[in-house]
Amino acid sequence: MLGSGDEHLLTSYLIGSEGSQVSLAAVTPAPLVALWRAAQTGDWEQAKHWHDAIYPLACAVYRETPGGRATTRLKACLKILGRLACDAVRPPFAPLPPEEYHRLEKALAHVEKAGAGR
């Protein structure tokens, strides 16, 4: 069984999921791999650390209103990280307002800070 809820990975691993299929892996692969490895070895303290690092980003992408903007938010994250030159989307999607970019930048910085020195 594989988990697919980016914000629920720790819970998925606790109940026995053997892996995950999550879109945040395209944005922040190292923390997601670290979470999985910690879960596989039963290091739940380390797993919780990585869950806590990833959770704000998962919420910023998937839970923030209005809903239905995950693809647009993921593309924005990739642009913020310098992996995409352009994050333009096609209708029916609309570009993100500046406050959403700021929220994503803040969440990405949180993930980066959590990984510093690990």
What is the per-residue pLDDT for 117?
56
**pLDDT tens per residue across span 3-53:** 677 788 888 888 888 878 889 999 999 999 999 999 999 999 999 999 999
Q: Is residue 48 exposed (0-12), middle (13-18) or buried (19+ Cβ within 10 Å)?
A: middle
d(CA 74, CA 71): 5
Q: Which residue has the tokens 């109940």?
A: 15
Statement: the pTM of the whole predicted model exceeds 0.85: yes
Cis peptide upstream of residue 31 (ω within 30 degrees of 0): no
The CATH architecture annotation of domain 2-115 reads: Alpha-Beta Barrel (3.20)
List all residues 6 or more positions away from 22 whose beta carbon is below 8 Å from its beta carbon: 3, 4, 5, 6, 9, 32
Instruction: Give the β-pairing of 19-20 and 2-3.
Output: parallel
**pLDDT tens per residue across span 71-102:** 999 999 999 999 999 999 998 888 999 999 99
Helix (H, G, I), strand (E, B) or coil at 19: strand
Report yes or no: 24 and 54 within 8 Å, Cβ to Cβ: yes
